[in-house]
Structure 1
Amino acid sequence: MAVATTRGRVATVLSGVALLWGSAQAAVFLVIAARRVAFPFELEWLEGVGLDHIARIAAGQPFYPAPSVDFLPLIYTPLYFHIAALPSLEWPLVGAAAPAFWFGRALSALATIVAAAAIGALVRRAGGRTLPAMLAATAWLGAFEVCGRWFDLMKADTPMMALVLGGTWALDAARGDDIRRRGATAMLAAALFVAAIFVKQSAVFYALAAGVFVIWRRRELLLPFAATGVGLSLIGLAVCHIAWGEWFWYYVVNVPAAQPVAWPRVPTFFTADLLAVVGPLILLAALRLVAPTDDESTPARDTRRLLLALTVAGFVAAFLGRVHWGGWINNRIYLVAPLIAYAFAAAAPFFPRLRFLDPQGGDAPSLNALPRLAATLPTLAAILVLTQFALFAYDPRDAVPTAKDRAKLERVVAKISAVDGAVWIPDHGGLARQAGKRPFAHAYVMRYLENAEGPDNAVTERMESLIEQRAFGAVVVGYNNRRQEKIDAHYRFSARLLPRTGFGRFMTGTGPLPRYLMTPRGGAE
């Protein structure tokens, strides 16, 4: 008895430490997001393309135009950027704000917080305890670094995930004796899943998983859920087709589907992206297999099953996104969020009930396991959570740009602005717009097009022709451009814009920094 009491105290202490650690991680994310939201320059090399999207929406230009050297869109569905563009539209009395990053970043940060709340609510509903729910919510916010520092960027990933988790919460809530209310809640869930798809098409995997769950466990909701989902999807597709014709399908479906598989990433996904990042979470979820509970309610079991379906969908989305060309660690978001929810929901019975969180709580559920093992599980669960938090740990100073960083980029913009004529910045088009220059197609999006249509496509040929004609007053590169040899043949080094080392820790993504200003070579060279 004394041993069991000691083990219980150890588990309580370790769980309390985990709660404090998780709360600190959440607070750190909030501070980082607040510090970064108004930073006027790119935090990631494709944010500038998002800025171009916003400017085009504000100017009434097509979101998905025919491919050209002037602009190539990101290969995502359009809803997020249309919402991010709202401050840049003309409004009565207040007018229109200049296209900027702040609103899109604020949307993403808010979506991250909403996703945390949804994760916590789902875990609370599945496990009946507040402690695992809080640990799950803070674990999600703590995954900021391992998910590529993506949570507060002007990107569609976290808004998509917030809508997916919101739809999951609504679908799980569609229960009770009032059939009309259940049907309405299922319709809300379907609407949220459809909205998520039009924010980023990766959400289709979660919507399909939710549909499978409805067929499996909630067949009485199949008609309202499916009718709403299919109906809204068809309406959305019709609107997109009317607005952009064939180019919508071309950019959102055809180009992504044509990207080749980076085969070396297939095995490393399971090691570097799965085991090394969320291994403790997988073990935490597996504890339920070791010691299932005997007195679990059917609704709680259904919540956990729904989260499992969501996790499987997240695994598929993360795997496909990561192993194809262009896939980066931000794709971990698709798996990390649902896995956190499922792992903590599955392991909820193993966490101690803290009176200050659940003062009205009843007895712990009965564990179908050997007594000695059952007594050890709470401590083991707390250790796994602490281990996971340790894997999520990072130095927050690396994520926040300093006043010196801003000053250096302001000098870069000033030098670009002083160039006579057009300037092509292959990897950081946002700088061109900030320098008052005409933006051109981003080199990374051009590569998507080359993968889909071959290197001799019209856009690539036109861009290389402009380089050969020395049509640009300058080209700004970081010497990681696939056209560097051609650029070197027609342009020469003119100025170093950024130091070779010691700058850019706050930036994420894989793109090269805009370090060198190159100007046209003379006719005699």
Structure 2
Amino acid sequence: MQQPDADSRLSKFDRWLTAAFWLLLALPGLRQLGLLAGAVGRRFGYGYDLEWMEGGNLTHAWRIANGLSVYPPPSVDFIPYLYTPGYPALIAALGSIFGISYGTARAVSNLAILGCLVIVGTVAYRSMQAARVSEPDGLWWPIAAAGALGGAGIYASGYPWMDGWYDIGRADSLLIFMVAASALGLMVWGPKSKESTTLGGWVDWRIVGCAAVLALGFFVKQTGVLFVAAAGAAILVLNWRMVPAYVVTSGTIGLGGTYLYNTLTDGWFWTYIYQYHQRHTNESERFWGAFEKFWDKFPTALVVVGAALVVVGVYAAVRRRLPRSGGQFLLWAWFFGVAVVVGAVGLTTQWSYLNAFIPALVFGAIASAAGVVTLAEIGREIGPRSQTALVFAALAALAAHSHEALWEPDKFVPTAQDQAAGDRLVETLREVDGPVFVPYSPWYAHLAGKPLHTHKMSITDVTNLSPRHCPPPEEQKPGEECVWLPDRATEVVGLKEGLQEKRWDIVILKPYNREAMFRPLERSYRPSLKLTDEMMPSQPTGYEVRGLRVWRPIRPMEPPENARVVFDFESTRLQGWNIRGRAWGRGPARGKLARQMPVGGFGGDRLMNSYHGGDKATGTAVSPLFEVDGNELVLRVGGGKGDKVRVELRDARGKVLFTARGENSEILREVRWDVSELEGQKVRLALVDESTGGWGHLLVDEVWMVR
């Protein structure tokens, strides 16, 4: 008579107690999922860029929807990102129903996140189904559930490491979902394809479908091609007869699609997705350092999967076979290893970001979930205590990681102030009569009803090359061949000319721009406003854009009809002024001085500037007397805000009537003094710089008497 096993002798209470113990270890992973859901849900409706390149993808989608090429020669009107077009093409297709918007783009990423988590659970369930064949009465479901939640905790805990990259309007989450879903299809249908009778057993349409999805992944992001190769190796093991069909399908879509698209774009498709990359800096140190980065943040995933691989290897060596769930685990461990390498490859590229490791986190989560079940199966064959020890070790490690990696979602969620700042910025752009150029966030111009232009990242991609120009072939060293680019590939047509001709009524850029084509900016435009946090919505993910200025064309500042000009400082000399010290030089300055940041917010060509000799220089400039014949005296003031730098309005005896200072800004602001009670009196201006410290200078221009 067969003896009952340990599980069958357990009471119902003991079974539930054991199940509760396993699930208790899954709580930290469940909490990580809660944090992820909270952050993603609260960010979804934000009306502006979560990441500075997010709106640029909407620009791509808009062009596709309007029948325009996304791979034209580079111009100020449009330069594509150096990616394949699958993601914006999908946004354009969905946009015909829901509209092209941040919400549409993020919905794709959010559904991809959900899909990846479903795959984690599905793999754990299928591994459980395989393992319980020999022990149908074992406590498999709580082990599988805990493994799935523990693995999902690995994925969720990576959200802050990547500054919340998962749910933004970019291609990363969509790509990894497509790859993971295809890999799941290969796992399910690969062995079954041996039963196919199509074309003598050499074709199974389900495998063909997986190959097609994987090949289309390349058109979502180029790194997808590495997963096409990894999946090909997997199908070679699962059913080698499907390899020809797999290769033909993926090759026809990938290579054929690339050739067709390249032909339709006169070769620019390949230039953007490959050739520009080859002219950017790639550092081998970053490649090897990437593995260290991943180990520092996610040693648990590597240890759990690595330990399971060792246990499976020992088991296979002793038993001469794999555990029933072992094949599935090995498949996902293989993809995990490939994904880590893909992440390291991605990080070698100039300007790359940690989002390159999103595939490693997804496959690490899946492999960890499958590994827990496989360890349970192997432990079960050894004995109940061995099973408990192996499962506890794996789940405890996953739980400890999720607990120690807790994070605060608020950091990644824009505030109501950010939304209000975006609304104000868009309204400012809308109020401008002519076109605007907003290269850091081009979609903001579209929201304001203005024409779209290219993104700043795209400008940098095509102009910041190493080397700038290729040397002759005979001068190139072996292994360091320079990739030649087409004509016009290193210039942005219309940018320099547009700035010189003052094509835009507003340009929003930083005060310093290294690219040569931006140099006309300071000759044709002048900063009129610094975008503070109250005026510029934040981007909590990735590169955060800060320090932008609103630049306006240099034109005379016209006073209103009811005003007269008291001083405009357009002359090189100050008639009747008493100037002491060296800070004011010999008279009005033409904008900024040596080693000074760009000066803006003044009219005409000149202004009073006490930066002659830097902040350490001091001096006073006192005007001749003038009569008050209006209600307000209006002037523009900038520079430091300390007590020792100031503009004073004095009466004829020298008494100070009004005082104004700057705001530690090189952009002059308007100051208004109510002088109605001084009607008919004689007054004078005194520009005082007594400071020798930081921001120890004063800027003044456009003094008007308003009736």
Normalised TM-score (structure 1): 0.85
194, 208, 212: which one aligns with 1:191: 212
Partners of 1:118 and 1:166 within 8 A in 2: yes
Shift of 1:211: 1.0
Partners of 1:428 and 1:514 within 8 A in 2: no
- The equivalent of 1:179 in structure 2 is 196
- The equivalent of 2:180 in structure 1 is 165
Name the CA shift for 1:125/1:500 in 2 (closer, same or farther; >3 Å). Answer: same
346, 351, 372: which one aligns with 1:347: 372
Shift of 1:100: 1.2
1:48 aligns with 2:129: no
Name the CA shift for 1:290/1:320 in 2 (closer, same or farther; >3 Å). Answer: closer
Shift of 1:481: 4.4
Distance 1:290 1:241 in 2: 46
Distance 1:42 1:521 in 2: 30
256, 265, 269: which one aligns with 2:290: 269
- The equivalent of 1:427 in structure 2 is 440
Distance 1:363 1:462 in 2: 67
- The equivalent of 1:355 in structure 2 is none
Shift of 1:143: 2.8
204, 214, 217: which one aligns with 2:225: 204
Shift of 1:42: 1.1
Q: Deviations over 1:272-301 (max 9, x none)?
A: x31122111111112225533467746633
Query: 1:440-519 maps to which residues of 2 (within 5 A)?
Result: 440-452=453-465, 458-460=490-492, 462-479=494-511, 481-483=513-515, 487-488=521-522, 490-499=524-533, 504=538, 507-513=540-546, 515-519=548-552
Shift of 1:190: 0.8
The one-letter code matched in structure 2 to 1:459 is E
Partners of 2:25 and 2:146 within 8 A in 1: no
Query: 1:51-200 maps to which residues of 2 (within 5 A)?
Result: 51-89=58-96, 98-126=99-127, 128=131, 129-173=144-188, 174-176=190-192, 178-180=195-197, 183-200=204-221
Partners of 2:323 and 2:374 within 8 A in 1: no
Name the CA shift for 1:134/1:255 in 2 (closer, same or farther; >3 Å). Answer: same
Partners of 1:241 and 1:248 within 8 A in 2: yes
Looking at both structures, which has the greater relative contact order when contacts are Cα pairs under 8 Å and sequence separation is at least 6? 1
1:520 aligns with 2:545: no
What number of residue pairs does the alignment pair up?
A: 500
Partners of 2:235 and 2:242 within 8 A in 1: yes
Partners of 2:52 and 2:441 within 8 A in 1: yes
- The equivalent of 1:316 in structure 2 is 341
1:29 aligns with 2:36: yes
State the secondary structure of the residue aligned to 2:261.
helix
Distance 1:244 1:453 in 2: 25
State the secondary structure of the residue aligned to 1:145.
coil
Name the CA shift for 1:270/1:97 in 2 (closer, same or farther; >3 Å). Answer: closer
Instruction: Give unpaired runs (5+ residues) of structure 1.
Output: 90-95, 352-361
Shift of 1:192: 1.7
Q: Which structure has the bigger radius of gyration?
A: 2
Partners of 1:492 and 1:518 within 8 A in 2: yes
Partners of 1:184 and 1:224 within 8 A in 2: no
1:237 aligns with 2:252: no
- The equivalent of 2:599 in structure 1 is none
Q: Which one has a larger percent helix, Structure 1 or Structure 2?
A: 1
Query: 1:316-335 maps to which residues of 2 (within 5 A)?
Result: 316-335=341-360
Q: Deviations over 1:341-366 (max 9, x none)?
A: 22332333446xxxxxxxxxx89533
Distance 1:9 1:381 in 2: 20
Distance 2:308 2:550 in 1: 58
Greater CA deviation, 112-121 or 31-40? Answer: 31-40
Distance 1:460 1:406 in 2: 32
Normalised TM-score (structure 2): 0.64
Shift of 1:442: 1.3
Shift of 1:458: 4.9
- The equivalent of 1:303 in structure 2 is 328
Identity among equivalent pairs (%): 21
255, 278, 292: which one aligns with 1:257: 278
State the secondary structure of the residue aligned to 1:201.
coil
Q: Deviations over 1:16-54 (max 9, x none)?
A: 334223223223333433332232211110011111112
State the secondary structure of the residue aligned to 2:545.
coil
Q: Deviations over 1:226-259 (max 9, x none)?
A: 2222233344335424543412212122222332
CA-atom RMSD in angstroms: 3.3
Partners of 2:124 and 2:147 within 8 A in 1: yes
Partners of 1:211 and 1:226 within 8 A in 2: yes
The one-letter code matched in structure 2 to 1:466 is G
Greater CA deviation, 99-108 or 515-524? Answer: 515-524
State the secondary structure of the residue aligned to 1:365.
helix
Distance 2:60 2:335 in 1: 31
Greater CA deviation, 334-343 or 317-326? Answer: 334-343
Name the CA shift for 1:43/1:502 in 2 (closer, same or farther; >3 Å). Answer: closer
Partners of 1:422 and 1:438 within 8 A in 2: yes
The one-letter code matched in structure 2 to 1:71 is F
- The equivalent of 1:93 in structure 2 is none
Q: Deviations over 1:136-173 (max 9, x none)?
A: 23532443222331221111111111110111011111
The one-letter code matched in structure 2 to 1:450 is T
Shift of 1:376: 4.0
Partners of 1:115 and 1:165 within 8 A in 2: yes
- The equivalent of 1:356 in structure 2 is none
